[in-house]
Amino acid sequence: MALAQGMRGIVLKNHFEPTASLAYMVRKQVPKLATFGGITLNLASGGMNPDAVEHMACVDGNWGRFVWMGSLDTESHLRYLGQNRSCVPVSRNGCLLPAVKEVLAVVARHQLVLATGHCTAQEGLLLVREARKLGIRNILVTHAMMAPTHMPLLSMCEAADLGAFIEFVYNGLIGVHKEFEPQEYAEAIRAIGADRCILASDLGQATNPPHPEGLLSFFQAMQKEGLRDGEIDRMTRRNPAVLLGLE
């Protein structure tokens, strides 16, 4: 489907399993599509587990590029949902935990993509600042406007000023996870600047459309809000290529 829509590449994310080996297998079957994987640091991966990140980065092909700093198991995600169970904390008293810094050191050594995951807005900025100190070049603030992060505009601009890309996803505009209208996305993108934003699907849910179909609908919604073709091209082709080291 991605090839049929003329996509150059795709990133595979799983909340519970690393996808570097899956990306390797997909590239064997669909060699014309640049497929990448990663790891989400939830409980199934051992939480903030630098060894798991190291292994993911060394899978044959080196197509494991993304490190998401937790999602469904982060402390902030559980707090948002009102759940009381084991979680993956990121910070305490305004400081990143030692295990988090160990993970960031592995990300820096392999020059992977750091994605902030389902943390708080404050934790997102802590991660971006520490990443920049360590020389991590490729940083993505994971669907910054969506729950549980709900990053304010000024914080998104600060993260972008520090060199991070700010992610906007179609999943936040449709279905059970809908939180925003296209106009709200467009206003934030204009304030931050298209050169510092990325449009992604965050799809894969059974009730939502497939990724390529959803992306096309997303782009059309942004066009209706007045974003220019060049801005959409920047956020969907050029910026992701920079993030993945394709440019």
Q: Tens-of-pLDDT digits for all 247 residues of the chain?
A: 999 999 999 999 999 999 999 999 999 999 999 999 999 999 999 999 999 999 999 999 999 999 999 999 999 999 999 999 999 999 999 999 999 999 999 999 999 999 999 999 999 999 999 999 999 999 999 999 999 999 999 999 999 999 999 999 999 999 999 999 999 999 999 999 999 999 999 999 999 999 999 999 999 999 999 999 999 999 999 999 999 999 7
Question: What's the CA gap between 174 and 170, in Å, rounded?
Answer: 7
Indicate the pTM of the whole model: 0.97
- Amino acid of residue 19: T
The contacts of residue 78 (CB under 8 Å, 6+ apart) are: 84, 85, 87
SS3 at position 169: strand
Q: Are 201 and 168 in contact (CB under 8 A)?
A: no
Identify the pLDDT of residue 152: 98
Q: Which CATH number fits domain 69-243: 3.30.1550.10, 3.30.70.3270, 3.20.20.140, 3.40.50.1370?
A: 3.20.20.140
The domain spans of the chain are 69-243
- Amino acid of residue 134: L
Q: How far, in Å, are 129, 165, 185 from residue 192 at the CA level?
A: 18, 10, 11
Residue length, the chain?
247
First CA to last CA distance, the chain: 24
Question: What's the CA gap between 184 and 195, in Å, rounded?
Answer: 18
